Structure 1
Amino acid sequence: MRLSLLLPLANLATRHARTLVALAGLWLLACALFCFDIERRLTLDPGWDAPDSGSALAAAHMRDELGRNETPVVVLFSPRPGGPGEVDAADYRQAVDDALTPLYGNPDIGSLHTYYTTGNPALRSRDGTMTYAIVNLKRGHDEGVAAYQHLRASLASDRLDIRLGGELAVYVDVREQLDHDLKLAETISFVLLAGLLVWVFRSGVAAVLPLIVGAVTIVTSVACLKLATWVTDINVYAPNVVSMLGLGLAVDYSLFMVSRFREELALDQATDLALRTTMLTAGRTLVFSGVTVAASLFCLFLLPQRFFHNMGLAGGISVASAMLTTIVLLPALLAILGRRVNRLVPPFLARRPPDTGETGNWYRFSHFVMRHARSVLLVSLAILLVMGLPVKDMKVGPADSRSLPLTAESRQVQQNLENHFPTSEVAPIVVVVHSRDVLTAPASLSALYQLSDAIAGLPGVTRVAGLMSLDPGFSLADYQMLYQHPDQFPQAAAALDEFSRDRTTLMYVHFKQDPTSPEARALVAAIRALARPPALAKVHVGGFPAFHLDYLDTLGHHVPIVLAAIVGVIFVLLFLMLGSLLVPLKVVLTNLLSLSATFGALVWIIQEGHLSGLLGFTPQGALDGTILVLIFASAFGLSIDYEVFLLSRVKEMCDLTKGDSLKSVSTGMQRSGPIITNAALLIGVVLGAFAMGQVVFIKAIGLGLLLSVLVDATLVRMLLVPATLRLMGWLNWWAPKPLMRVYQRLNLGEIETDFRSKQE
């Protein structure tokens, strides 16, 4: 069998180590200078819209044909001690007008509606102490964030308390909180990792290496992310993925490489030979692991939303950067250090020689597991199935202001709207209509009247605002007369100007239900199911409830394809690594069980709110579909990470022992078990730091990945895998002859067992 292509890299690291490290230093400096302003290149549009969906088409027509590219901001007024207390009082109205006066003439504001200008009772609280204005901000290239910040700075009152809410306000608060959480998580991660790495390696020198690899990985990933902004839009969430996955995997991979290198040194191998062996064993495993994790993340490109493309790209870049840094820079550092990698041992952590023989704890533990393989298998499966039971109660819903801490201003506004106002008219369903003839033609007006009347009659609808809502007492004949002579009726002219352009008009459908509720989505479906009058060419239904309905429909259609692709890619890559047909199948099945346990735990914690007091969040009542997809893709890849670490050593031992299943599994467990446990602990620290953030979206992702890693490193790798390997026996490495010929032709298997003697 020919030697791996990683051998030239090992030789390069041995002969030109200092040059490689110097080049890496220059690369790090260049990347840091290049990416320091990446935030200016990132788009504030998350990219959640499903292309060509009804809601996306409605938004596009509103923007292109009606010139409506605005987002509503709620300006909530409430009494201050000593200030006016009744909304209907003259001094309260004067205070509101004084606060809003700086906004008139602001070019960023499309329109402004108050209780006093519209007389709409929905803008007045039930007890008459609070009111809110709706300010429609123009989105612009930055989704209206700059306009929002200017609006926030312009509002002030010494008589009333003013707070801002709405979708844009929630978005800005989330971004500001995420920036704070990200910096805090990175700081905590590095500090904790530094201490834990010293404890794991029992060497200060060895402990520094994963941190160096992690820093280079993150900076490289961010620089590559900035390059990607030149060819596509990258949203502001992507750097969070880079930090979380990049740092975690860099530490994992470094731990695996450094541990194998020190193991070879302990066998009295020369530094250059130890490094070559490390690269051809651990390095090969890391390449397969990195390709597998990256491939699972790149499968997110099969979803139509740009958000998932960004997450897949950011994740893939992070994995590739971690893998390349580990197999290019780390070997050079190890070549320079040699046996000095074991120096700076803390006095309280005297280094023990690694126990890789048949007397180690992991060897004995694996023997116990395999002696009771059937019982262990049944107990492990039972635990995973019980953990996964809550999945049957899973509900999928959108993220809202409850994702923020209670101190967030936008969340407080949302709570006030829900608790103190009869109905909220901040997130209406929008119906965009195209008529075949001019809008003021009798047939067009008749069709609009018919459609508006049908929508108003649907359960839950409180009112429909549009051309047909000037007066509840007007008949169709009245509207036809008004709009045929708009120059004589200012009310009709104003309505045409507000709601229409050419043959396009829109209706705002206000309703009782929460915009995030299933009932709101059902109302969207009911509107779309209404018969379209013949005089109307097109009818598109948009707004937040429609967007979320389309989002869920898109996930329902595409996610099974993505999951199948992830499973298929991982199956193929594991076969190419191991030359086995049944082991990859077993891996896929056990990982699916592990993920079901993870999702069950998320339902129990995030959806139902158990441990919410301890973790500091509000129960969500549902899980965001975005979270579920990202966790599946990332966790499936990460779980394969540990599977590859274990199986590579088992396969290596199997080749050395000529197929002795019991000994190969036990020895493989003895040599990889401590590494997998330590790797899970270290990456758990990184994910746990992110899980402690204040935004539930990132908290749920960090917590979900943390749970997945813990379940995978304990129940699955320590119990389920050795038990199934024992029960399958020789079938572990079986493959049909045609597939085995493919495997042998590609020559991606392990190195020859007599490699060390050949090198000597």
Structure 2
Amino acid sequence: MRGSAGDGPGDGCALPRGIEKPAGLRTGGLAGCLPVGWGAAHPSVRTRARFVTGVNEILHRKPPSRSRFRRNPPEGGVTARHKAQAPLVPPADWPAPSLPNTGRDLAGTLTGPPQGGFTLRTFLSPDRLARQSANHPWLTLGVWAAFIVLALGTASQLKITPSWEIRGSDSQKAANLLEERILGQSPAAETIVVQSATLTVDAPEFQAFVTRLTADIQALPGTVSAVTSVYETGDQALVSADRHTTILPATLQGDIVEATDTVAPLSELLAERNGHDGFTVLTAGDGSIWHDANHQFEKDLSRGEAIGLPIALLVLLIVFGAAVAAGVPVILALLGILVSMGITAVISQFIGIDSSTINMITMIGLAVGIDYTLFIVERFREERAAGLEKVDAVVAAGNTASRAVLFSGITVIIALAGLVIVPASMFGGMAIGAITVVIAAVAVALTLLPAVLSLLGDRINWLRLPGRKTKSEQPIDSGFFGKTTMLVMRHPWIAATTSVALLVAMALPYARINIGSLGLSTFPQHLQSAQAFNVLNEEFSAGLIDPAEVVIEGNADSAEVSLAVANLRKSIAEDGDFSTMSTLTTVEGGQYGYFTVLLNGDATSERAMDALRRLRGEYIPAAFGNTGSEVYVGGGTAQNVDYIDTMEQYLPIVIAFVLTLSFILLTMVFRSIVIPVKAIIMNLLSVGAAYGLVVLVFQEGVGASLLGFHQADQVEAFLPVFLFAVLFGLSMDYHVFLLSRIQERFLQTGDNAAAVAHGLRSTAHIITGAAAIMMAVFSGFALGDMIALQQVGFGLAVAVFLDATVVRSVLVPASMELLGSRNWYLPSWLEWMPRISVEGPARHTAGRVPSHEALAFELGPILTSGD
């Protein structure tokens, strides 16, 4: 457009309505929009209308065509096509730049792609995805509908495979040899317990009951391949010392992988017979333990969803003040979970996926899915309130909040990828499930949500709560958050030291952590397998459920090995933590051999694991040291020992991996080494505080009964690794969202303090709402009956609360205020790093003048471009 008297500050200046002319600008045409002395020797500026259009586009925050974009003028301002043109330099009376050099670099990152640089605008382009989805909403919905239908079809094929493999471990080597060389595919074993308070096994009634039960078990179709009793074998080892209890060893049809399903008819039969005629009938074994655990996890999962979703809806209703706006994030989060389930179901056909993966998908999917859509919906409503048309508001949200969501998703994926490093099959499955649900949540937020917003438009604000004002109607520095921000900014030293001291104090109990494996002894006591374990532990040896399996490779039938086995039998007979030892069995011409050793106690107990360590570290080396044979110890207890040792070994490796990649990514995004270092320190503080509180509540029992939790002597071994990976990723949501807003205002004003204050005040309600939603979801799972899930839910909820309150609302603004422009420091030798833009250009609101340097920076590429 050509300017007019009413269009801008001068005669014909083509500045948008409401933007005042900075001092030093002349009037008349395009030259009237430039400082005195600019463009006089630049005939193309005065004669080519396309430059006028370009300036108007920039001042309205619309980037020029990329084909004409150049980050900086060439040295001396001379190009091959305009050798006679004067250099493009500001006049002497032009005000000094308001941004420091590091800020100018930051401005370059935000305002456009540098020559040869890399920005999200040219990679995935959230704004372009948003525009395409908004312009073609029904097509977008149709594509997503097809994905959802496909996911519904594949999700039903999800294959749950119990697996505790620790790649390369001693126990895994033993398991591989047993399957490949000795026993073949391992069958699933069950130990059925029959007990009477009044009768002994010698009573005819007892024998008749066991005989009928054995016949009924054998009659179950496709369930049990073999079952025996003391009445058939005469083996008195199957009878307790007081003769009131006997066990029936049973073998399920199929292998261990199929046992979870195969055992179901047996469990149902025993549950029916339990309590009849005064007999207690229970079972524990490979199938029933996993069956009970999966059933309980599903029950806890449903309870968590029933608690977390209504609270999340209530929080969203408070944040948005409108029912439609509150419902959209929840619905889209559930769709993302469904799509992820479908993808995971396909993957489960090729690799092992256990029940913990499903829990992970649901927890992470609800948390990030709701948060990501929350950020974008809020930005859309903000842009609409500022006067943008519907599609433009969708694109503006895509160019700002969606970029932050994309980057947050990348950081979460990086953190979760750290779990893949751990050579434990359970982590591989959990990482795959979590990564797929994060990808699905980001895809929904970047494509499906813009289409929904385009269709809804202002109907997103339907069913508004009475008496609620929109965000644009409220002064930005009013209310609790505005006052808190100003208080922190006035006293940054006090705020920083107090918050750090609080987090460090919370983290101190972590020094006393005792990690372990929470096994059957910590299962809810209403479960059949847990009750059976208690009886076995009291009347026999809990090691009957899962004995140690000793595998010999090489010369297993030699005289030296036979002598070693005899010596080992003598050693364990003198150790009260062992029960019995079976005879040596050899195969393949004596090349391989194996025997079992019963341990006293639960396979996950400290007693059993200490005994297993002595067996590996003392007794076997002393007995087999001169035989020339390799000896491996497997079984449940050995797996638990290897599992715990692996978690301890890989925790620092995972931390180093995640921190290194996150530091590199944050440095490229924020063009600063200070911001990443602070982010890492703050995240470590919040995660450390969560670790400490988990130890304090669950291991030491402080407040456990008050909160409805079960105390345990140990913290689940995977928890430190798992919590770090998940929390580091999730905490970046808040950090990126907050810092991107700070960057946006810093570009406009060059004032670090004002930018920090604006970022805090404008995002506090969203960050607090997002944290409240995550806390609701995680707390719902913490109220389950499985202690491991309680520890996970509590640790996540506490860490998110601390991160959103103490860290993001106090420590971040205090540190930003203390460091000032040094926050954006980047050494010159790192200038080569690619530039990645989190948020695109921000709109200029009416009445606000862009800083002179920002204006000059954006005019420069247009004025130096060729045809």
**Against the structure 1 CA distance between its residues 747 and 132, is the aligned structure 2 distance closer, same or farther, given a 3 Å change threshold?**
closer
Q: Residue 405 of structure 1 contacts residue 617 of structure 1 at CA under 8 Å; is this kept in 2?
A: no
Alignment partner of 2:514 out of 385, 395, 416: 395
* 1:150 is aligned to 2:265: yes
Match of 1:737 in 2: 828
Match of 1:96 in 2: 210
**Against the structure 1 CA distance between its residues 749 and 233, is the aligned structure 2 distance closer, same or farther, given a 3 Å change threshold?**
closer
Alignment partner of 1:189 out of 308, 327, 342: 308
Q: Residue 399 of structure 2 contacts residue 841 of structure 2 at CA under 8 Å; is this kept in 1?
A: no
Match of 1:466 in 2: 583
Partner Cα distance (1:97, 1:615) in 2: 47
* 1:62 is aligned to 2:62: no
Partner Cα distance (1:110, 1:453) in 2: 35
Alignment partner of 1:275 out of 394, 403, 408: 394
Q: 249-258 or 601-610: which moved more? A: 601-610
Partner Cα distance (1:423, 1:595) in 2: 36
Alignment partner of 1:319 out of 434, 438, 446: 438
* 1:637 is aligned to 2:735: no
* 1:336 is aligned to 2:452: no
Alignment partner of 1:627 out of 690, 708, 719: 719
Q: How does 1:470-481 map to 2 (within 5 A)?
A: none
Q: CA deviation at 1:218?
A: 1.1
Match of 2:405 in 1: 286
* 1:27 is aligned to 2:143: no
Structure 1 counterpart of 2:474, one-letter code: D
Q: Residue 249 of structure 1 contacts residue 319 of structure 1 at CA under 8 Å; is this kept in 2?
A: yes
Q: Residue 122 of structure 1 contacts residue 425 of structure 1 at CA under 8 Å; is this kept in 2?
A: no
Q: How does 1:195-274 map to 2 (within 5 A)?
A: 195-274=314-393
Q: Residue 161 of structure 2 contacts residue 352 of structure 2 at CA under 8 Å; is this kept in 1?
A: no
Q: CA deviation at 1:98?
A: 2.9
Q: 311-320 or 689-698: which moved more? A: 689-698
Match of 2:672 in 1: 580
Structure 1 counterpart of 2:494, one-letter code: S
Match of 2:837 in 1: 748
Q: How does 1:323-722 map to 2 (within 5 A)?
A: 323-347=442-466, 349=468, 351=470, 353-355=472-474, 357-359=476-478, 361-421=480-540, 424-436=543-555, 439=557, 442-458=559-575, 460-467=577-584, 502-503=589-590, 504-529=592-617, 530-531=621-622, 532=624, 534-535=626-627, 537-658=629-750, 660-722=751-813
RMSD, aligned α-carbons? 2.8
Give the 3-state SS of the residue equivalent to 1:163 in structure 2: strand
Q: Residue 238 of structure 2 contacts residue 246 of structure 2 at CA under 8 Å; is this kept in 1?
A: yes
* 1:76 is aligned to 2:186: no
Q: Residue 154 of structure 2 contacts residue 346 of structure 2 at CA under 8 Å; is this kept in 1?
A: no
Q: Residue 312 of structure 2 contacts residue 772 of structure 2 at CA under 8 Å; is this kept in 1?
A: no
Q: 403-412 or 214-223: which moved more? A: 403-412
Q: Residue 337 of structure 2 contacts residue 366 of structure 2 at CA under 8 Å; is this kept in 1?
A: yes
Give the 3-state SS of the residue equivalent to 2:631 in structure 1: strand
Give the 3-state SS of the residue equivalent to 1:507 in structure 2: strand
Alignment partner of 1:86 out of 196, 200, 214: 200
Uncovered stretches (5+) of structure 1, i.e. residues with no partner: 468-495
Alignment partner of 2:157 out of 28, 38, 53: 38
Match of 1:491 in 2: none
Give the 3-state SS of the residue equivalent to 1:65 in structure 2: helix
State the number of aligned residues. 717
Partner Cα distance (1:591, 1:121) in 2: 59
Match of 2:135 in 1: 15
* 1:2 is aligned to 2:119: no
Q: CA deviation at 1:598?
A: 0.5
Give the 3-state SS of the residue equivalent to 1:406 in structure 2: coil
TM-score by length of 1: 0.88
Q: CA deviation at 1:584?
A: 0.8
Q: CA deviation at 1:251?
A: 0.8
Match of 1:490 in 2: none
Structure 2 counterpart of 1:144, one-letter code: A
Q: Residue 752 of structure 2 contacts residue 820 of structure 2 at CA under 8 Å; is this kept in 1?
A: yes
Structure 2 counterpart of 1:2, one-letter code: G
Q: How does 1:164-179 map to 2 (within 5 A)?
A: 164-179=283-298
Partner Cα distance (1:464, 1:733) in 2: 67
Q: Residue 582 of structure 2 contacts residue 596 of structure 2 at CA under 8 Å; is this kept in 1?
A: yes
Structure 2 counterpart of 1:247, one-letter code: L
**Against the structure 1 CA distance between its residues 43 and 110, is the aligned structure 2 distance closer, same or farther, given a 3 Å change threshold?**
same
Give the 3-state SS of the residue equivalent to 2:418 in structure 1: helix
Q: Residue 217 of structure 1 contacts residue 321 of structure 1 at CA under 8 Å; is this kept in 2?
A: yes
Q: Give a deviation string over 1:240-286, Cα, whole Å, max 9, x none.
A: 21111112111101111111111122222222332222111111111
Structure 1 counterpart of 2:518, one-letter code: A
Structure 2 counterpart of 1:461, one-letter code: F
Structure 2 counterpart of 1:87, one-letter code: V
* 1:723 is aligned to 2:814: yes
Partner Cα distance (1:592, 1:96) in 2: 58
**Against the structure 1 CA distance between its residues 444 and 117, is the aligned structure 2 distance closer, same or farther, given a 3 Å change threshold?**
farther
Tell me the percent identity.
Answer: 28
Q: Give a deviation string over 1:470-491, Cα, whole Å, max 9, x none.
A: xxxxxxxxxxxxxxxxxxxxxx
Partner Cα distance (2:612, 2:783) in 1: 36
Partner Cα distance (1:500, 1:425) in 2: 24
